[in-house]
A and B are shown apart, each in its own frame.
Chain A
């Protein structure tokens, strides 16, 4: 693009929003964010990433990496509010006029009639023209250069050309929205119960957006559930890792436990007891892995096992806090979010999970704590949990770069 001009560099301006309000902790948040950003683009080249003036500035150090691709990658990093691809050059009026002309030519190439305006910010007060004068002059120059194509419009124009005059001068017109939130790693580690449905990946996304490192646990009941079901859950974790970074993926071989539950638990309480066992296993694993909370995709009243009573019976068996970010969300909003993060299409693949295979026709929707304890009377719960924890296989799911694009 404008890099054909001498002494003009491409860069990215990254806005970081909420983090700037973090007071004395701000340095730690920014350092973590920059670390996360570096990891996300490490294969695209070498970069200088520095924070200054409440923004993060990214320059390529070597070669000419595709800055658009870098921006696209970074737009999935939590903590970033928005990104603008920009150009940078020496602050003097003649250069600004020359570069702006070329910049506008590139932006307008192939476009029809467009409206525009300038927004200028002059930080370097030694610059001879005021912000207002810069906007007026540049506007006039562009109108002269593209008399048929451009017209000025103050309210909602097609293009807003931003000019910032600091020790260097910056031009940009595009703002790519980021995911906002907090950098992953600032809020400890969470153990996500990942089922393969629509909800749990969204719950994981939401907690990662608040800075949690994710570990996931899936209860595999082969051959009742297929290898494809497991592959699907792994694929969901991989999609999540585009946002959450590296994910530790645990699979519990749950078949024998499930069969024992089937034998020993009254049918109408099977789902509740199964979930209580899963919570206990997930908690034990979470404590081993130094996780600070369990995360589930439960939403109040969505199914029989998610009534207030059923949630109470599953909540009470664990001491760790259980984060349920979807608890008050409407299904349509969850689906919209699943579409946005790209897990929806995978979630709706029709492979059964254990919740659909081992399901009773008429589950108890309002179980009491007493019901739940009684339903577990014939079970040696400690042995069951220990046995489950011995049957866990774990692997790391690292962001795969070509998929993250």
Chain B
């Protein structure tokens, strides 16, 4: 099966020798996004080039090195960081692993205690657990407020208890879009633990909101390319120059020995292009996406679909966590999927585990609300018609499948 697209929501699908035009309504762009058409052309071109290894001394290698440097310059302009602070990786998860494991291995006499939050992505939570088991690091998960942001009082209490050597915060929640004020969190941590290395998960930030690594107060920041229209298998760890770090992958000593392995030049370049494309249109895109989200909520109201908005006020407009009491999130997802409309019930990586969502539970939502919660992602490529269609379909499906009144079976009697 091959898929052709010029507009992301329009798919020409080749099945066997038949071509069918299918409209796909992709409201799950927080999980992944298709490669931007203009990026795809350049990327595919680079895949076919000879000698594309920046470590080679021939002309091909020099070209590759120049392209990698250009990618770094683009990224540094987009995220307000220095070119020397960029380490290319295979994605968000690897960046996070390198940041946390690599810091603990190099943190010297800093306290072996790490702080993070219960609102993190599994990549952080599981890496922290591994640090606890394998490296004997004390891990504290700081509570979140009902709005899904870090509870500053809980953080202060945790810092007063004992100093920490490492801290990690998600900047924009992949579940709810809740935004942590990262520079105020970093200064709070530094007030108590001036030596602490602080890592930020900026996966849902890049390409979606303005971000300055320099002003964030972070020592490390991780993100992934495929969330904003670059290919999968691309990612970056930003590392402040004097932040101590040991490699977790050994080999040819590439990227100043922080991440061995031949650089993925086509991937790195595509990541930079995609990021730049979003950053250059950031204001218009954010405005458009915010209007889509507003329209969605307006229509949900006008169709009188019972709902609970889980995402807090002021959250990223790109992610909306919302529950429709009476219908399981999974049921709605299945029914929409049959009509080529894609949404998510939780973080896509974890959605195989029914009824579990550690972020929503940490925000204090009960099991019933979590079971009926869905995550709807808004993206610049969607139109108002797409959103109207989505809400109309949700309204119809809700009427058909929701269990309420005399219908039993779900906890909503």
Contact = CB atoms under 8 A, between A and B. Distances in A.
Task: Give the most central of B334, B403, B408: most A CB within 10 Å.
Answer: B408
B409 A358 contact: yes
Interface string A13-46: 0000000000000000000000000000000000
B195 interface: no
Contacts of B328: 224, 357
A222 B338 contact: yes
B352 A263 contact: no
B341 to A, nearest CB: 12
A223 B409 contact: no
A262 interface: yes
A259 B407 contact: yes
B334 A350 contact: no
A262 B403 contact: yes
B406 A263 contact: yes
Contacts of A359: 409
A226 B338 contact: no
A175 interface: no
Interface in B338-359: 338, 352-354
B401 A223 contact: yes
B332 interface: yes
B334 A222 contact: yes
Contacts of A267: 408-409
Interface in A254-294: 259, 262-263, 267, 270
A352 interface: yes
Contacts of B401: 223-224, 259
Contacts of A357: 328, 331, 409
B407 A352 contact: no
B393 to A, nearest CB: 12
Nearest to A360: B408
A358 B335 CA distance: 17
B400 to A, nearest CB: 8
A227 B331 CA distance: 11
A223 B352 contact: no
A223 B338 contact: yes
Nearest to B409: A358
Interface string B307-341: 00000000000000000000010111111011000
A361 B409 CA distance: 8
Interface in A205-230: 222-227
Contacts of B332: 223
Interface majority SS (helix, strand, loop, mixed), chain A: loop
Tier of interface size on chain B: 20 to 34
A271 to B, nearest CB: 10
B266 to A, nearest CB: 34
Contacts of B337: 227
Interface in B174-233: none
Interface in A325-363: 350, 352, 357-361
Contact of B409 (A226, A227, A360): A360
Contacts, number: 47
A87 B343 CA distance: 61
A222 B337 CA distance: 11
A352 B409 contact: no
B335 A223 contact: yes
A262 B326 CA distance: 13
A362 B308 CA distance: 27
Contacts of A361: 411
B403 A350 contact: no
A262 B334 contact: no
A267 B409 CA distance: 7
Contacts of B333: 223, 226
Contacts of A270: 408-409
Contacts of B411: 361
Interface string A232-259: 0000000000000000000000000001
A262 B407 contact: yes
B305 to A, nearest CB: 16
B353 A226 contact: no
B61 to A, nearest CB: 43
A173 to B, nearest CB: 46
Given A352-B354, A357-B328, A223 B408 contact: no
Contacts of B403: 262
A140 B2 CA distance: 68
A369 to B, nearest CB: 23
B351 to A, nearest CB: 10
Task: Give the most central of B334, B338, B397, B411: most A CB within 10 Å.
Answer: B334
B406 A223 contact: no
Contacts of B330: 226, 352
Given A224-B328, A350-B353, A352-B354, A263 B407 contact: yes
Interface string B363-402: 0000000000000000000000000000000000100010
Given A350-B353, A352-B354, A224 B331 contact: yes
Interface in B81-120: none
Contacts of A226: 330, 333-334
A350 B409 contact: no
A262 B354 contact: no
Contacts of A225: 334
Contact of A262 (B331, B338, B397, B408): B408
Interface string A360-396: 1100000000000000000000000000000000000
A206 B397 CA distance: 41
Nearest to A359: B409
A350 B406 contact: no
A358 B401 CA distance: 12
A13 B353 CA distance: 48
Contacts of B354: 350, 352
A141 to B, nearest CB: 56
A267 to B, nearest CB: 4
Task: Give the most central of A224, A225, A262, A267: most B CB within 10 Å.
Answer: A224
A350 B350 CA distance: 12
A361 B408 CA distance: 10
Contacts of B406: 262-263
Nearest to A267: B408
A273 to B, nearest CB: 12
Interface string B14-57: 00000000000000000000000000000000000000000000
Contacts of A352: 330, 354
Nearest to A263: B406
Given A223-B331, A223-B332, 18 more contacts: A222-B338, A224-B331, A224-B401, A226-B334, A227-B337, A262-B406, A262-B407, A263-B406, A270-B408, A270-B409, A350-B352, A350-B353, A352-B330, A357-B331, A357-B409, A358-B409, A360-B409, A361-B411
Interface of A: 222-227, 259, 262-263, 267, 270, 350, 352, 357-361
23 contacts: A222-B334, A223-B335, A223-B338, A224-B328, A224-B334, A224-B401, A226-B330, A226-B334, A227-B334, A227-B337, A262-B403, A262-B407, A263-B406, A263-B407, A270-B408, A350-B353, A350-B354, A352-B354, A357-B409, A358-B409, A359-B409, A360-B408, A360-B409
Q: Which are the 4 A-B pairs with shortest beta-carbon distances?
A: A223-B334, A223-B335, A358-B409, A267-B408
